[in-house]
């Protein structure tokens, strides 16, 4: 993984902790949360305060995420909002933490000026010992305070102040006044500078989890389903009507279509569809060339075209399907018949504009593993696992490409690939035929009794 780290493609954008004051605050928070301290003087943290250096020191990459279910966090600075989330077990965790920081930015700025803020993403499940237990996760709320309990004390002081103002004899209550003065020395002026953090709770209807080999759970759509990365026969006790695995291409395609979650790239507005298809085809050529032992270091698009001609007989059906679609788009060729069972099918799609677009693009990335750019952007956990299995020729090309083509303009690349224009009107739910209501959109396939 050293190439990825050197280019900032792994462990990139982490927050450096090298001040003795910040290290001491981090250790107080760590002791508060898990009863441990670090001997490190310099380390890096992600948005949750997790440090890969401490994970190595403790021999536990889940030291802030016990059993992978209830993520704990340590905030030393509001700048952590820009950092990635490492070892993510739930796709929603980073967005929840980022929203919490942004919604409480001024309060957290004041609190972290004097202490670390420690907290937890809390749900009702403490141990997901079976896939079915994941369905008990309905909401996640955030609990947070400084290690010295500033927020709790400020809340208590606020109630004392209310009592002092409302009770007739409070002016003569020496104990109440002494308590208020003593607490105010620790919290500051909570009347002029309140230190309350917003109570935030998040619904968990649609998400991906890395647990049990990987699972996409869609409960907040018209036709719910679970999609697992391993064999669906190992998930026959899930409390949901339909369960698919990644081999159920037609069922997944129907699920995405009937819930109006995807659109063809070729029909998407505001994107250069032909350029996107060309790039996907180049990635497939690169896969074939790497398998043939070609040196791909610094390979340009012209080099890949040459290699494509050289290994034309070995190019897979996915490449042929994308080439046919490109001929239709650029050369007025015949419309290609690319069904959901065709290897190129999911390469031709992207998420429509909706709240779960990132989750759908994550699923599409796992269904199209040869598109290394989409896999890196949308599903880093799967990307890193796949990278470890690739031949060195492919690793060298992928790192060089991502460094040249993606790192220089991340926002622009994401906008070009996945950005959406504002919809012309609000989407309206469509009534479904009675047969679908009774039987379900996928018939008997994947149905769980």
> Is 181 part of any domain?
no
> Is 66 part of any domain?
yes
Regarding whether 107 and 41 lie in a shared domain, the answer is: yes
- pLDDT given for residue 345 in this prediction: 96
Q: Is 90 left (phi over 0), alpha (psi -120 to 50) or beta?
A: beta
Regarding whether 411 and 273 lie in a shared domain, the answer is: yes
Please tell me the distance from the alpha carbon of residue 69 to that of residue 53, in angstroms, as a whole number.
Answer: 22
> Is 106 part of any domain?
yes
Determine contact, residues 76/45, Cβ cutoff 8 Å. yes
What is the domain range of residue 98? 2-149+195-203
- pLDDT given for residue 193 in this prediction: 47
Regarding whether 286 and 143 lie in a shared domain, the answer is: no
Please tell me the distance from the alpha carbon of residue 31 to that of residue 229, in angstroms, as a whole number.
Answer: 37
The residues near 41 (Cβ < 8 Å, ≥ 6 apart) are 18, 20, 23
Please tell me the distance from the alpha carbon of residue 409 to that of residue 397, in angstroms, as a whole number.
Answer: 18
How far separated are the first and last CA of the chain, in Å rounded?
Answer: 44
Model confidence, pTM: 0.83
Please tell me the distance from the alpha carbon of residue 367 to that of residue 76, in angstroms, as a whole number.
Answer: 38
> Is 233 part of any domain?
no
Regarding whether 52 and 199 lie in a shared domain, the answer is: yes
> Is 437 part of any domain?
no
Determine contact, residues 218/226, Cβ cutoff 8 Å. yes
Beta-strand runs (E) in 258-413: 262-264, 349-351
- 11: tokens are 């462990």
Number of H helices, E strands in the chain: 17, 12
Regarding whether 142 and 39 lie in a shared domain, the answer is: yes
> Is 161 part of any domain?
no
- 153: tokens are 């004390």
- pLDDT given for residue 159 in this prediction: 65
Regarding whether 354 and 275 lie in a shared domain, the answer is: yes
Q: What's the gap between Cα 399 and its chain centre?
A: 21
Structural domains counted in the chain: 2
Regarding whether 309 and 199 lie in a shared domain, the answer is: no
Helix (H) or strand (E) holding 401: helix 392-401
- pLDDT given for residue 417 in this prediction: 84
> Is 411 part of any domain?
yes
Last-in-domain residue among 165, 185, 203: 203
- pLDDT given for residue 42 in this prediction: 96
- pLDDT given for residue 21 in this prediction: 95
**Residue 433: Cβ within 10 Å count:** 9
Local confidence pLDDT in tens for the 449 residues of the chain: 889 988 889 998 899 999 999 999 999 999 999 999 999 999 999 999 999 999 999 999 999 998 888 899 999 999 999 999 999 999 999 999 999 999 999 888 888 888 899 999 998 788 888 999 999 998 999 999 888 777 766 666 556 666 667 776 666 667 666 765 666 666 554 444 456 788 889 999 999 999 999 999 999 999 999 999 999 999 988 999 999 999 999 999 999 999 999 999 988 777 788 899 999 999 999 999 999 999 888 888 899 999 999 999 999 999 999 999 999 988 888 889 899 999 999 999 999 999 999 999 999 999 999 999 999 999 999 999 999 999 998 999 999 999 988 887 788 888 888 875 443 333 333 434 443 444 444 444 444 43
> Is 164 part of any domain?
no
Regarding whether 413 and 266 lie in a shared domain, the answer is: yes
- 19: tokens are 């001040």
Q: How many Cα neighbours within 13 Å face the side chain of 344?
A: 24
Regarding whether 274 and 199 lie in a shared domain, the answer is: no
């Amino acid at each position: 993984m050293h190439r990825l780290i050197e280019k900032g493609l792994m462990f990139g954008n982490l927050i450096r902790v090298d001040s003795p004051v910040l290290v001491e605050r981090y250790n107080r928070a760590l002791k508060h949360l898990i009863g441990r301290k670090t001997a490190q003087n310099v380390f890096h943290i992600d948005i949750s305060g997790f440090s890969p250096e401490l994970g190595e020191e403790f021999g536990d990459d889940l030291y802030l995420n016990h059993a992978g279910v209830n993520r704990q966090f340590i905030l030393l600075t509001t700048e952590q909002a820009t950092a990635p989330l490492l070892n993510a077990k739930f796709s929603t965790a980073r967005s929840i933490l980022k929203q919490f920081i942004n919604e409480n930015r001024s309060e957290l700025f004041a609190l972290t000026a004097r202490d670390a803020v420690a907290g937890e993403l809390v749900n009702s499940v403490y141990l997901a010992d079976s896939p079915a237990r994941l369905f008990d996760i309905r909401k996640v709320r955030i609990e947070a305070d400084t290690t010295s309990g500033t927020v709790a004390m400020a809340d208590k002081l606020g109630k004392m102040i209310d009592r002092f103002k409302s009770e007739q004899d409070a002016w003569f209550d020496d104990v109440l006044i002494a308590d208020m003065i003593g607490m105010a020395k620790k919290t500051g002026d909570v009347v002029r500078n309140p230190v309350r953090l917003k109570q935030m709770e998040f619904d968990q209807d649609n998400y991906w989890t890395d647990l049990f080999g990987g699972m996409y759970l869609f409960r907040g759509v018209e036709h719910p389903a679970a999609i697992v990365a391993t064999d669906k026969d190992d998930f026959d006790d899930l409390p949901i009507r339909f369960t698919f695995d990644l081999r159920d291409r037609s069922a997944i395609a129907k699920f995405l279509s009937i819930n109006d979650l995807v659109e063809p790239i070729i029909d998407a507005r505001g994107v250069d569809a032909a350029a996107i298809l060309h790039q996907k085809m180049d990635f497939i050529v690169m896969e074939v060339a790497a398998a043939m032992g070609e040196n791909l270091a610094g390979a340009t698009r012209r080099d890949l075209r040459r290699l494509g001609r050289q290994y034309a007989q070995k190019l897979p059906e996915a490449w042929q399907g994308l080439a046919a679609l490109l001929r239709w788009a650029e050369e007025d060729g015949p419309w290609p018949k690319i069904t959901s069972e065709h290897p190129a099918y999911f390469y031709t799609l992207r998420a429509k504009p909706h709240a779960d677009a990132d989750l759908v693009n994550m699923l599409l990335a796992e269904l199209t593993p040869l598109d290394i750019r989409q896999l890196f952007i949308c599903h880093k956990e799967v990307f890193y696992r796949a990278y470890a299995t690739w031949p060195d020729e492919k690793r060298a090309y992928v790192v060089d490409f991502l460094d040249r083509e993606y790192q220089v303009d991340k926002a622009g690349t994401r906008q070009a690939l996945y950005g959406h224009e504002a919809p012309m009107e609000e989407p309206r739910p469509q009534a479904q035929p009675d047969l679908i209501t009774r039987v379900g959109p996928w018939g008997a396939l994947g149905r769980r009794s």
